[in-house]
Amino acid sequence: MSKLFAIPLSALMLIQSFNIGTDDILQFDELIEHAQFHKQEYGDNFLVFLSKHYGELKTEHSKNHQEEQKDHEQLPFQCQGHFSTVIAFLPHQTPIYSGEIETLDSTEFNFRYFNFYSSLYEEKQLQPPKQA
């Protein structure tokens, strides 16, 4: 039972790691139809078709065939997800504190030693005899 759950879950994680969404899966029929159009119209095989739409020949193909732009937008894997964060620091135009800064010269130290060692005996452990 655990294998039946683990295999589809791992396949789902693999697909998500390639950033393949459900809209891309639903657009595979558009990809196949457009590949067949290229085979009939230009005589391209599937690898040349992929190169024209996703590879090295993409810029040249998009320049030469502007009439197919609407079809190209319907192909899967066309939108690329990018996230960017802009952090801006905008200082105030008026200063927050307009007075002079006072410096304090203090010689007082903020250090105190506390002896946390305690003993049951208040006297020294090795006592010499008091009377000889």
Structure tokens at 2: 């655990």
Residues 6+ apart with CB under 8 A from 38: 44, 48, 49, 52
User: Percent of the chain scored above 70 by pLDDT?
Assistant: 69
In order along the chain (132 residues), what is the average pLDDT of each group of 10 residues?
88 81 83 89 88 86 83 78 67 64 70 67 65 66
Task: Give the per-residue pLDDT at 52.
Answer: 87
User: Percent of the chain scored above 90 by pLDDT?
Assistant: 6
Task: Give the per-residue pLDDT at 8.
Answer: 92
